[in-house]
Chains A and B, each alone.
Chain A
Amino acid sequence: DTAVSQTPKYLVTQMGNDKSIKCEQNLGHDTMYWYKQDSKKFLKIMFSYNNKELIINETVPNRFSPKSPDKAHLNLHINSLELGDSAVYFCASSLLTSTDTQYFGPGTRLTVL
């Protein structure tokens, strides 16, 4: 059984479009995250949510809007895509009491043309 899943795995789109990436975890965790890994392979936290509430927003443009319909899901919606948004996006989850042991999804490779 997949612990943290993301869809789609690959996403190719034109500049200016709006797209969403979905994330689901079946681990019973209460905290979920979005990370971005750019072309230089640096992995950086974007958002974290605990029990559907935003905890951290790390200087991410407001074109990025995470949505958490329930504790098991954290989706990432991106408006007006730009070339610089091309990256691999990873979803992760953990328990708030153990936020250092995070389980990551397989990643979504976003390419903006």
Chain B
Amino acid sequence: DAKTTQPPSMDCAEGRAANLPCNHSTISGNEYVYWYRQIHSQGPQYIIHGLKNNETNEMASLIITEDRKSSTLILPHATLRDTAVYYCIVRVSGGGADGLTFGKGTHLIIQP
């Protein structure tokens, strides 16, 4: 799986859009970008994933650059409950039952 780089922490005001960047410059053509988050004292939660097109679901939007070397997770209207550690993971879809490789992630703090 390609390596990812994320800022260790970010702040965002409640009600504003939170934009979380991820660099994955060594991504391969068949690797997807996945985002998970872990709210304090809970298990990780799947958010969204994409290959090269932008994706949106009820939780977030994922913007992947044209060269696929970086991406941004967007929480459109952040709430206090979005305070969590966000993990960007790159891997081949359905790449076997070898588990997810979590890095250090970005600790997003939503300020009231």
Q: Chain A interface (Cβ within 8 Å of chain B)?
A: 4, 31, 33, 35, 41-45, 48-50, 55-56, 58, 90, 92, 94, 96-107
Identify the interface centre among B41, B49, B85, B89: most chain A CB within 10 Å of its CB: B41
How far, in Å, is A59 (CB) from chain B's closest CB? 12
Q: Chain B interface (Cβ within 8 Å of chain A)?
A: 32, 34, 38, 41-46, 49, 85, 89, 91, 93-102, 104
A105 touches B98 (CB 8 A): no
Complex formed: what's the CA distance from A44 to B34 in Å?
17
B100 touches A100 (CB 8 A): yes
Note all chain B residues with C-beta closer than 8 A to A49: 97
B94 touches A104 (CB 8 A): no
Chain B interface helix/strand/loop/mixed: loop
Note all chain A residues with C-beta closer than 8 A to B49: 100-101
B98 touches A48 (CB 8 A): yes
Complex formed: what's the CA distance from A100 to B49 in Å?
9
How far, in Å, is B88 (CB) from chain A's closest CB? 13
On whether A97 and B94 interact (CB within 8 A), knowing A42-B102, A48-B99, A102-B100, the answer reads yes
How far, in Å, is B32 (CB) from chain A's closest CB? 7
Q: Which of B32, B41, B43, B101 contacts A105 (CB 8 A)?
A: B43
New A-B contacts (19) at CB < 8 Å, excluding given A45-B98, A45-B99: A31-B97, A33-B97, A41-B85, A41-B104, A45-B101, A48-B98, A56-B97, A56-B99, A96-B94, A97-B94, A98-B94, A99-B97, A100-B91, A100-B95, A100-B100, A101-B49, A102-B100, A104-B43, A105-B43
Q: Which of B34, B38, B41 contacts A100 (CB 8 A)?
A: B34
Note all chain A residues with C-beta closer than 8 A to B32: 100
